[in-house]
A and B are shown apart, each in its own frame.
Chain A
């Protein structure tokens, strides 16, 4: 099965091609092909996953690799191929399965949309991109699939392009991630120029890392850094963009303009986690330099984003926006974990988050589908009308908030435990402490805003009594149920070994063994666990206090507005980041483009071209005049001369014999004279 790894991205790609070229008119066939292709990829992926567990596939040199020489570069060939190691295997476990659930869900959600087939074509291409990214064995291939996903994200966010807000949101997403991608590309290019390699197995070889650590690059007034640090930070730029971390987080909330399956697939489970995957994949590069700035940067951005985004989520009314900021926040958890070296914890949280976030988004989609609105202030009492959605949404909420024994608790706790353990060794003035503090506070806020969401949406009386709410069709609820099962139970794969009873019962943290056996296991810390449980339950309790005890009635404003006052406005307006960017970068970019346009259109390029055109016309006029006067004159002149001569000579053809004889006599005379004289 491992030999067929390369086929995994191929099937969704074929589905894309088939739908675009052939089956676009046939809606059922299109979605059938898409679902079928992802199902095949899923089967192959799980085959690869289980085989790699059984075969003890390792990281780096022990990974399974298949590659072909692809691009001639100088004297060698640049290879492209697939790489299966524990990280990609675990991603292969999660990605195609979640994709499949969402594809099935989309059949119901997108029913009746006029561009139904095109939707499935786009998400198939996206699936190809994500799967290709996961199995890529070099940075170039990863980047190619990274960009394919970026393209699909743009296409899918702006899927309903009749809405100007959707169009703008798609463009915003694409351009913002582009900024990150520029850094990443710079990092890739510099890496290639330094090492001549982009293949993971080679760039993470100890010799290469040695060389990169000990050679310095001079950045002028910024001082000098080891190459490894600089490259890590540049590549991290790509992750910041793609995973919507501060300061490039602004695109993800607006990306909610796209259809909800898109939000679930791209902006919760897969594409945004690609940034985390990238950092995890390049983890050797990040950890090459001890005490370098790169990890500190990563940890800071991650932790800051986690807290920052969760504060904004508290003041949002749109059900999907809350989840969007939640995603940003949770990605911050993962990034922060990587920043403090908690590789296994970060990957674990990546996997569990994918499941329960997808579940939450699909659930919100179901709510939107059933109630007809996205504004939580207009919902209420949906528990009675949409029981399955409510139950699964509740499971997702508990998982996200970190309530044991659901999946999110185990993964979040491992990060916090790792941070705590580190700062107890390093002291309070260290990144791990910062990370632990911020992430714990963020955990409280996470539980609070999720509780708020549950109470506003599902409890109380409906604040739109005239709108009838109904449960969603089976094609939408079945995936919800399946994902809920995973959200509930997946955490047990990563229970720490030292946990009483359950630890050994569940195989002694099989996740850790598989993914990161070379990292030391985090020691179990009861205090941290207790604190995180308190945060989770505490947050939910406060939410109940505010929203659940006296559910809001129709038209009643959010109590937080009064409680927080002007702080609420700042939160609601997302700390005015969009306005800040608009006033600075966007205005600058627009001004530059105006100048470039004027340069092209008014001042230089067009006038030059027009001048060249006019010169050409003038030249051709000159040529024409010359042609008409001289050439034609000559030709006409010749004709006229000939005509005149003809007219003159015609006179000699009198038709009279005596005239001809005279001419003959004259000729005789002339010949006689010539023969005499000469």
Chain B
């Protein structure tokens, strides 16, 4: 049997990889991709817990579904924003979108 902790560790690793991407990437779309990684890691976590601790209840599934839906919505809006910014600023490099910086 695969211990629960293994799943959790994988999720943690995926989360951290995503974290690294968020912190280190310059490209806005790259950052968004890393965010998707993190959300996936969360989902893995949720479903692992559901399966190992309360498989009879629906709560875990519902939660994971909600997370999934939110991830989708967020990706949509985020990419729309990026496209809009690209149209006006002609760049998707987050370091160059700094009008609000002092």
Contact = CB atoms under 8 A, between A and B. Distances in A.
Interface stretch (A286-294, A444-452, A533-541, A658-666): A658-666
A656 B95 contact: yes
Contacts of A665: 19, 23
Contact of B23 (A653, A655, A662): A662
6 nearest A-B residue pairs (beta carbon): A655-B101, A662-B23, A658-B23, A661-B23, A665-B19, A655-B102
Nearest to B26: A658
A658 B22 contact: yes
Interface string A521-557: 0000000000000000000000000000000000000
A654 B100 CA distance: 12
Nearest to B101: A655
A54 interface: no
Contacts of B4: none
Interface in B23-73: 23-24, 31
Nearest to A665: B19
Contacts of A657: 94
Interface string B78-102: 0000000000000000110010111
Contacts of A658: 22-24, 31, 94
Contacts of B23: 658, 661-662, 665
18 contacts: A653-B102, A654-B101, A655-B98, A655-B100, A655-B101, A656-B95, A656-B98, A656-B101, A657-B94, A658-B22, A658-B24, A658-B31, A658-B94, A661-B22, A661-B23, A662-B23, A665-B19, A665-B23
A658 B98 CA distance: 12
Interface of A is mostly: helix
Interface string A638-678: 00000000000000011111100110010000000000000
A658 B21 CA distance: 10
Contacts of B94: 656-658
Contacts of A655: 98, 100-102
B26 to A, nearest CB: 9
Interface in B2-34: 19, 22-24, 31
Nearest to A656: B95
Contacts of B24: 658
A668 to B, nearest CB: 9
A153 B1 CA distance: 133
Contacts of A661: 22-23
A656 B99 CA distance: 11
Contacts of B100: 655
Contacts of B19: 665
Given A657-B94, A658-B24, A661-B22, 14 more contacts: A653-B102, A654-B101, A655-B100, A655-B102, A656-B94, A656-B95, A656-B98, A658-B22, A658-B23, A658-B94, A661-B23, A662-B23, A665-B19, A665-B23
A674 B71 CA distance: 31
A656 B101 CA distance: 8
A655 B23 CA distance: 14
A341 to B, nearest CB: 116
A624 B24 CA distance: 56
B5 to A, nearest CB: 15
A662 B100 CA distance: 20
A266 B82 CA distance: 118
A655 B97 CA distance: 11
A665 B17 CA distance: 12
Contacts of A656: 94-95, 98, 101
Nearest to A658: B23
A653 B102 CA distance: 10
A661 B31 CA distance: 12
Nearest to A668: B19
Nearest to A654: B101
A387 to B, nearest CB: 115
Nearest to A657: B94
B16 to A, nearest CB: 9
B14 to A, nearest CB: 15
A655 B94 CA distance: 11
B96 to A, nearest CB: 11
A656 to B, nearest CB: 7
A656 B95 CA distance: 7
A653 B94 CA distance: 16
Contacts of B22: 658, 661
